[in-house]
Amino acid sequence: MQKKVFYRINDHNIFTTVKSPKSIFFTLLFCLFFNLNNYAQTLEDCIKIKESGLAAMDKFDYAKALKDLTKAKLLAEKNNWYLQIFETKNKIGVVYMNLSDYGEALNYYLEAYIVATQHLESNKESAILNNIAVLYCLEKNTKKLRNII
């Protein structure tokens, strides 16, 4: 006898047809695996992931840094943790700047600037403007640099 079963895990709907106890086991195993991929839900988890990315950045492992910082950014955005959103976008910009991808770095700096002006203190805005100025110096773009200064 077949029975339709509905599961709701981490805002995802899962429908399955249960045929035997073996099917139930594999369905539950799938649900457990699916749930473990989204385990990081607290601010402390977000900070740990961000710090892992920063440690990788210090070791010049930019691929791992981008992976961890992006993961932390997504978690922060999901939970509206504005300081973490700001810090991760800023650091992702730094990674791209270190990779000489100035266009991508500027995009992340501008996103961080928006977060800083809308949700954080003015010192965060100043920090981003400083990073944008450094970026324009590296690009030798004196016209845009003068506008910031």
**Within the chain, where are the H helices?**
21-36, 43-58, 62-79, 82-98, 102-119, 122-139, 142-148
pLDDT of residue 149: 61
Phi, psi dihedral angles at 10 (to 5 degrees): 45, 55
pLDDT of residue 144: 73
- What are the mean pLDDT values of the chain's consecutive 10-residue runs (149 residues total)? 48 47 49 50 94 97 97 96 97 96 95 95 91 88 70
Q: Which residue has the tokens 């961890």?
A: 68
What distance in Å separates the CA atoms of residue 116 and residue 126, rounded to the nearest whole number? 9
What distance in Å separates the CA atoms of residue 45 and residue 89, rounded to the nearest whole number? 17
pLDDT of residue 50: 97
Q: What distance lies between CA 36 and its chain's CA centroid?
A: 18
What distance in Å separates the CA atoms of residue 62 and residue 126, rounded to the nearest whole number? 25
pLDDT of residue 4: 52
Q: Cβ of 94: how many Cβ atoms within 10 Å?
A: 20
